[in-house]
Each structure stands twice: as structure tokens, then as C-alpha cells.
A = this chain, B = another copy of it.
Amino acid sequence: MTETPEPVSVRVDLGPRSYDILIGPGLVASAGRHIAAALPRARALVVSDETVAALHADRLLAALESAGIGAALLTLPPGETTKSFDHLIAVVDRILAERLERGDAVVALGGGVIGDLSGFAAGIARRGMQFVQVPTSLLAQVDSSVGGKTGINSARGKNLVGVFHQPALVLADTDVLDTLAEREFRAGYAEVVKYGLIDRPDFFEWLEANRAAIFSGGAARVEAVAASCRAKAAVVAGDEREDGDRALLNLGHTFGHALESVVRYDPARLVHGEGVAIGMALAHRFSVRLGLCSGQDAGRAEAHLRAAGLPTRIQEIPGDGFTVDALMDKIAQDKKVSRGALTFILTRGIGRAYVARDVAPDAVRDFLNQELAA
């Protein structure tokens, strides 16, 4: 067994709900020790999907057992459709069937779908159990596992049902990212870039210099995940329930969600991170058009996304359906829209994003017309 370095620790500062994110290689294998330290005497239910469980569940269960943590495993089908009331009920029922108490832990081993679903189940079983995230995708490590947002989809839209339920611990094992498909890693990287573009120009510059190293693993990858978690933790600590500045995390997401919605969340056409990449490029070009941002900065943001193999234009999405009317309709339905006024995250340059709450729908329409004609 090789010696693994001590993980990097990022504190999410939320008063009595504060917790640590540990980031580094080998954390699945040492999960038992870390969970036992955070939650003494807890038992656990590990929730995973079939794909991830086949790769990592045995190792995690062995780690829990070796730390004296009795654990059961619940495996669900992979994919976004698992974020449903039916699967929520199944997870809650299993928690109760295992007679877990409030101090026991639901452990999410998987990507955003598993994290969102099992965090929601942990938030409502016995009115709130302990919850541990072991995110296995880059997207989950740098975004969905940090901040306490949990939820499922409704027939009326994505993530419309859920709770804020903070985990007791997050273990981001950077080794497991080696098992991701290249496309999935790239998609997660879009969210990493996002933190630089929001308000960390130095981090963006560091990413420009270290992109290849991050993709190949090692210390640069650990640092990229840790810096992303620090960035998100800082925003979440200032606005736990998304009443204010947390909206900055939606950079690229209003356009991105509209694109995902037009393709009906078909991952063959577009995955979330790709939508965010295109959305961020659109937000920058829209800001240029509004005279807020220099064309040079917008070009630099776009160039970095392209270098990482990410799309930056609507026309890169295979298939059709991208009309101005269809996109405007989706944008108007977005749950961040408040009483008619359109809220967008716009930017004054690299790392200078801000929340604009008064964007005229006609300005968005004109911009999209230009984009689709290009």
C-alpha cells in the first residue's frame, strides 16, 4: 500500500452547521477513519448508483468496516431520472428499515444525482440525519457536494423540490476522477473555470497555466478542486440559503439551463457542464454587447474553455430547436426569474462578475438573435 499524503482541508463556515471538505488522493480508502472522527459511533447507509458502486463501493464499505462503522449499501440506477419522488421514497424507506437514528449517516457515493437525492433523503428522514458526501465526479467535487443544496426533479422542472441540508463531511477523492470519461471530466472543469471568472482572476490565470496538469492528475488537480471548494465555500458562507450573492454561482447558468431545457436534458446532446461553458461564453459576449466588458476579456474566457475542449457556441450542440423564442421561453420560466424582471449574472471582465437584476428582455432577445445568426 502506497503512502498517501494528508488531504487538503477546506472549512465551510456556517456556524453550528460548519463542516470540512477533505480533498486528496486515496480518500475512499481512508473514509472510515475520517467519518468515524467526524461522527463517533455512527452507523451508515451508503447510497450509490450501479456504475459508481461497481467501481468504488467495495473499497468504501471495507474502509467503513475497518473503522468499526456498520454500513449497508443501496444501489440505484444511474442517470438524472433517478432524481425522482419514487427513488426519494426508496432511500428514505431504506434508512428507516435499517433503523438508523438521527446521529447516523447517509453516505452519498456518486455524482450530483446521487448527492442531491441522498442529501434530500437525509434531510427529511427523522427530520434530518447526518449526511456525508463522497463525490465521484469533478462536477460534484467542485460544485454540487458543497453548499447543502439537495433535491429532486419534478415534472414541472429540475431541482424544484428539495431542502438545504448541509453535510457533516465531504470527502473528495481526486483519484476516483481517473475513472471518469474525458467528456465528463471536461464538463466538470467548466465549473472550475467559473470560479475564476466570477471573482478570482488570479485563479483563472493559474488555470490557464496549469490546465494540462489538472487533467492529468496529481497535485495540480488537488489544488484546482481545493481552490474551487474554497471559492464556493466563501460564497455559501455569506449566503447559505441563496437570498443574495449566492446568485453569482449561477454565472452561465441562466443561458445554460435554457439550452439544457431545449434539448430536454438529453446528455447525448448536452451535459450540464457543457451548457455552463456555452452559457459563460454567452454571458461574456452579452456583457461585451452591453458595453460592460472588453472583447479581449471575453475572448480570453472563451479561448480557455475551448482549450479545455469545451463548447462555447450554441451552434456546437448537435440537433436543432434553438430558436430565439424557444430560448426566451425557457429563460422566462427559470426559477431565478422574479416577477417579470430578468436576473442575469453579467461581467465587467475576467473575475468581475455581478448580479444584474434589471436586464431588459428585449436586450436578451436581440443578443440571441445575433448569436444564432452568427
Contacts and interface: CB of A to CB of B under 8 A. Distances in A.
Given A85-B85, A101-B338, A163 B93 contact: no
Secondary structure type dominating chain A contacts = mixed
Interface in A299-346: 335, 338-339
Given A156-B96, A156-B97, A162 B338 contact: no
A163 to B, nearest CB: 6
A157 interface: yes
Contacts of A89: 85
A92 interface: yes
Interface string A113-135: 00000001001111110000000
A124 to B, nearest CB: 5
Contacts of A242: 127
Interface in A140-197: 149, 151, 154-157, 160-164
Contacts of A338: 101
Question: A96, A124, A128, A151 — which one has the most chain B CB atoms within 10 A of its CB?
Answer: A124
A357 interface: no
B149 A127 contact: yes
Given A85-B89, A338-B101, A127 B164 contact: yes
B96 A241 contact: no
A162 B165 CA distance: 13
Interface in A251-299: none
A139 B157 CA distance: 37
Interface string A82-101: 00010001001100110001
A201 to B, nearest CB: 31
Given A124-B161, A127-B241, 4 more contacts: A93-B156, A97-B156, A124-B163, A127-B163
Query: Which 8 A-B residue pairs are closest in the complex by CB-CB distance?
Result: A96-B156, A127-B162, A124-B161, A85-B89, A92-B161, A96-B160, A124-B163, A163-B163
